[in-house]
Amino acid sequence: MTAFFQSLGMNYEWAWFVSTICGILLIALPLMLGVAMIIYADRKIWAAMALRRGPNVVGPFGLLQSFADGLKVFLQETIVPSASNKILFLIAPIITFTVALMAWAVIPFNSGAVLADINVGLLYVLAISSLGVYGVVIAGWASNSKYPFFSAMRASAQMISYEVSIGFILICVVLWAGSFNLNEIVADQKGHVFGILNGYAFNPLLFPMWVMFLISGMAETARAPFDLTEAESELVAGYQTEYSSMAFALYWLGEYANVLLMCTLNAVLFFGGYLPPLDLPFLYIVPGFVWLLAKILFFFFVFSWVKATVPRYRYDQLMRLGWKVFLPVSLGFVVLVSGYLMFTRYG
C-alpha cells in the first residue's frame, strides 16, 4: 500500500504514514462492525439453544439490534460516582478498548496482508493481551465500590494464571513453526499433516495444545464458563457495576473484540489461518480472508455454544484448572514437542 501512495507523488515517509493510517482504519472499522454483528449472533445463538427467539424486533430478523443498543447507550448520561477516582474511572474503559484493538495489528488476513509484519508477532500478541487486565483492575479500584473491587481482584488472578499456560502453548507452536512471525506460522501449516491437511490442530502432538488453548482463551477473555469477573449472582455486574453510557459500551465492544481476537488466534495458530482446510488447488480459488472469516465465525459459534451450555466454574475450580492441570500439562508438552523436533528435525 505504501507503493500506491508513493505513486501519487508522496515521499516515502508520508506514503508510509498515510498507508499505515489507512491500514488501521481498514482493520478497525470492519472490526467494530463485526463486533456489533457478533453481539447479535451471540444473543441469537444463545437464544436458540435456550429455545427462545432472541432479538427479533429491530430491523429484519432483529439484525439492527446492536446498533439500537449502541444508540441507546450513546444517548445515556455518563454517571461518574462521586466517591470514585474520576480520571482513572474514565481511563479504564479506554484502556480496555484500545488494547482490544491493538493486537489486531499483527494478524495476517491473507498471505502478506498484515498491517505490521514483525518478527516478534506472537510475542506482541502475548504482550498486548497481558495489558488487557489493566482495564479491569483499574476500573475495579477507581470505582471505589466493593463489588467492582472483588471483580478486579478475581480478574487479575485469573488472567495471570491463564496467561502462563497460554505462553507455554504458544511456545509449542513457535517451536514447530520455527518462527514468531504469524505470517510464517500460517505458511508453515500448509500441508502440515499427510501433505493435505492445513493446520497444526491435525497434528497429534499439537491437538491437545489446541484444546487447552481454546479453553484458556475462554478463561483469558473471561467468557462463560469462566466469567467470574462479572458473575451476576455474586458480584452484580463485576467491574462494570458503576459504569453507564459510553464507558460501559467501550467495555462491551472491547470484550467482544477480545473474544474475536481469541477466535482469530485459534484459526491462525492451529487451523491454518487464511489457508483452506485441505491443501487442494481448487480450494484456493476462494480468497484467503474468506477462509479466515469462516474459521473465526466457526470458533465464535463454539464460544457461544459453550456459553449457552456449560455452567459457571467455581473460583477454586478455575484456579485449580489453570495451575494444577494446564500448567503442568502444557509444560510437559513443551518438553515433548521440543524433544520430538530434536530427534526428527534437528538430529
Partner 1 sequence: MIHTIAFYLFATLVVASGAITILARNPVHSVLWLILAFFNAAGLMVLVGAEFIAMLLVIVYVGAVAVLFLFVVMMLDIDFAELRAGFIKNFPLGMLVAVVLLCEIVLGVGAYRAGALHLGTPDGSAATAVGVSNIKAIGTLLYGRYLFLFEAAGVILLVAMIGAIVLTHRQRSDTRGQNISRQIARRPDEATVNVKPEVGKGVSL
**Shortest approach of partner 1 to residue 207 CB, angstroms?**
24
Instruction: Count the neighbouring beta carbons within 10 Å of the beta carbon of residue 339.
Output: 10
**Shortest approach of partner 1 to residue 193 CB, angstroms?**
26
3-class secondary structure, 278: strand
Residue 71 as a binder of partner 1 (CB under 8 A): the answer is: no
**Shortest approach of partner 1 to residue 307 CB, angstroms?**
23
Q: Which residues 6+ apart lie within 8 Å of 248 measured at CB?
A: 73, 93, 240
Residue 312 as a binder of partner 1 (CB under 8 A): the answer is: no
Query: Please, are residues 295 and 209 in contact by the beta-carbon 8 Å criterion?
Result: no
Q: Which is nearer to partner 1, 134 or 303 (CB)?
A: 134
Residue 215 as a binder of partner 1 (CB under 8 A): the answer is: no
Residue 320 as a binder of partner 1 (CB under 8 A): the answer is: yes
**Shortest approach of partner 1 to residue 93 CB, angstroms?**
15
Terminal alpha carbon distance of the chain: 42
Burial of residue 198 (CB within 10 Å: 0-12, 13-18, 19+) is buried
Among 137, 182, 235, 296, binds partner 1 (CB under 8 A): 137
Quick one: which segment of 31-39, 75-83, 230-238, 316-324 binds partner 1 (CB under 8 A)? 316-324
Residue 160 as a binder of partner 1 (CB under 8 A): the answer is: yes
Number of residues forming the site for partner 1 (CB under 8 A): 31
Greatest C-alpha distance within the chain: 66
Residue 168 as a binder of partner 1 (CB under 8 A): the answer is: no
278: β partners: 197
Query: Please, are residues 54 and 43 in contact by the beta-carbon 8 Å criterion?
Result: yes
Quick one: which segment of 70-78, 100-108, 122-130, 264-272 binds partner 1 (CB under 8 A)? 122-130
Q: Which residues 6+ apart lie within 8 Å of 273 measured at CB?
A: 108, 182, 185, 186, 189, 267, 288, 291, 292, 295
Among 22, 26, 47, 126, binds partner 1 (CB under 8 A): 126
Quick one: which segment of 63-71, 112-120, 269-277, 337-345 binds partner 1 (CB under 8 A)? 112-120
Question: What is the CB-side half-sphere exposure of residue 310 using CA atoms within 13 A?
Answer: 16
Cis peptide before 204 (omega within 30 of 0): no
C-alpha cell belonging to residue 238:
463485576
Residue 36 as a binder of partner 1 (CB under 8 A): the answer is: no
3-class secondary structure, 113: strand
Residue 13 as a binder of partner 1 (CB under 8 A): the answer is: yes
Q: Which is nearer to partner 1, 13 or 77 (CB)?
A: 13
Quick one: which segment of 47-55, 152-160, 297-305, 335-343 binds partner 1 (CB under 8 A)? 152-160
- Torsion-angle region of residue 85: left (phi > 0), alpha (psi -120 to 50) or beta? beta
Residue 64 as a binder of partner 1 (CB under 8 A): the answer is: no
Q: Which residues 6+ apart lie within 8 Å of 227 measured at CB?
A: 312
Residue 102 as a binder of partner 1 (CB under 8 A): the answer is: no
Residue 180 as a binder of partner 1 (CB under 8 A): the answer is: yes
Among 35, 38, 106, 138, binds partner 1 (CB under 8 A): 138
Residue 218 as a binder of partner 1 (CB under 8 A): the answer is: no
Binding positions for partner 1, rule: CB under 8 A: 13, 17, 88, 118-120, 123-124, 126-128, 130-131, 133-134, 137-138, 141, 149, 152-153, 156-157, 159-160, 163, 167, 180, 316-317, 320
